Chains A and B, each alone.
Chain A
Amino acid sequence: MTDTPPPSTPLTPQGLRRPKQLPIDSDVEDDPLLTPLVLPSAKELWNFTGPEYLLSRGLRADHQCLSCSLEFSDYTPAQLYELNQQLKDDSVPERPLIDAVAPMSTLRAEYENGSPSFLKQIDWLTKNGFDKVQRTKGDGDCFYRSLGYAYIESLLTSKDKDFAVASALSLLSSTKDVLESAGIEKLVYEDFYDDFANLVGSISKPGEDGLVLNKERLLQSFQNPEVSNSIVIYLRFVTSAHIKLNRESYEGFLVHPDTKDIMDVDSFCANVVQAMGREADHVEIEALCRALYLNVDVAYLTGVRGDGVDFIKFHNRDEGEGAITLLYRPGHYDILVSNKRAA
């Protein structure tokens, strides 16, 4: 991996849908300053990486049932993102499921040879108080993991911790009935629920290990695949159940993440929402934020405008309660940290 420079901009997801609620001035269709993303073609990337390289990275060489030809587009945006990351981090050991908070400059450094509009957007975020980022692994679960972490952290840092924890636990407990109404059995969800509720509960009362949760232990818990994945899957179940029980709001908006074919509610929930490693899109974010009454702002770092960053708001509580902020780059979500947030 010495002769070819790694691609320096993230790959665009296949058919990223335009976020709704875009501010009027963000219409970039005829913006003369718009810099197109410099993307390696699928073929280039494939030649560059080669099947052995993919194999050595755990991205297994594709076996084809029947006689299909391999197209690079068979990879999901999340896989492409991970591939891109792996190219960048060639000598760096595997990313943790979620990393410690890092200054925005670490992210900026990765784009220095890339698209100027990405750099401008990163600088805009920094200038506007979003000067840190907490990165998650690009394994297709990054949205749920980022959200789960930021949600529990918001309870941990809330002014009235005990009240926040008690309300969160009662809300979480009520989701069990929602899951059952949507046909997800107790046997299937209870272990994940227990891990989730125990972690939240340990903010105000010592958990099984006799310790009260603090930021350091929260990070450790989310780096432990068992706890971390339990929370991811529970959030997937909550999302799925919410979509199933409110199907009239979502029907017609559900598309297969790879083929972009319209899917019916039940197959979408079974094959996309409830499956690990399947990236979340607008619909899942909307559903989960409604189900848990969350305020979430997603900053879209897409390089399509250099003069600012669009925040898409998913708000389901009083505005005064603040919002969890996430950073979206094509195919990936991280946690965006504001310097206004309690330390």
Chain B
Amino acid sequence: MKRSIGVALALLLGAVVVVAVVLGNRNGEGAGGGPVAVRGVIGSEKKPFFDDPLVRAAFAKHGLRVEVDTAGSRQIATEVKLDGYAFAFPSSLPAAEKIRKDRGVATVFSPFYSPMAIATFQPIADLLTGAGLVRDSGRGYQVFDVAKYLDLAAKGTRWDKLPGNTAYPARKRVLLTTTDVRTSNSAAMYLAITSYVANGEDVVNNTGQVTKVARSVAPIFLDQGYSQASSEAPFDDYLVMGSGKTPMVMIYEAQYLSRVFAGDGSIKPGMRLLYPSPTVLSKHTLVPLTADGSKVGQLLTEDPELRNLAARYGFRTADPAAFNGLVAKHGAPAARDLVDVVEPPTYEHLEGLISNIDRLYASGAVPQQESPRGVR
């Protein structure tokens, strides 16, 4: 899997170089001599990066002032009116592919990626270890066994029913907190992971599987109740409100690491980062809609300063040195070599899974007691 990602990145970078040559001349100055305003719509988890004065300064050096609105990646792909924007920057390749096709864009940029991870707390991790869901990978990080989790969730297990649980005797169900799968990419990536497991350890690749698998994994989304629209919100809740609201939350690794790298004290002792097994990589992919949008994509991919800044926000880039340096410097709990990485379904099948779950939200017909692993 890792090798195929490396190849994909190399191909993308190759494409980028061509674009870079075409757009290479710096003519971004506005009429009044100030920077040109460029507005994009992005997944919320990248907003802190774009708001950073250093990032803004780096763009300004190239004559650009980048402004962003945030929206869920699926909203960006389907609902958001893109006409006023210079670029769309959803958080995954499938959503970007859809926009690329819809808008007839030739070249897209994948300047950085981040594996899906789980933010939790030591007492919760201990409980999950006791229940057989969490184990040491032997590679310096802990993994969360998705297959075992789906079994546990299918039984409707509650926290207070876990054996020996005095640390977190909550009456609510053991459920990973996610965003709303109908709007947000991080939940869609979680769906990519869980659908792979529920499909008998295989990427969902036909419509028959889509229907079956969607029904079997739907409860882990619907039973959560109200889910927030975009990825920044539940992670904020995790940081600010702690385990009472969010005992464990599906995030991009970058969200957690950026806080560790910033050393702002928001990652408190007792907070833990786990990697689901299997996991998927979320490839943040910029679809340019104007020439200025292309320039933003090009700079994010090529400019060493912006690449280093991206690493500070926890993103992995084509140049691993900056990221690895920060991990070493902060003793961050980042996995150096994730082995159990799977591919998300194509846009069409991922969208099929989401639409099926969407219909279950609407109808209220949630299959409560079906085993998510029952589909083979």
> A and B, one complex?
no
Using a CB–CB distance below 8 Å, which chain A residues touch chain B?
none
Using a CB–CB distance below 8 Å, which chain B residues touch chain A?
none
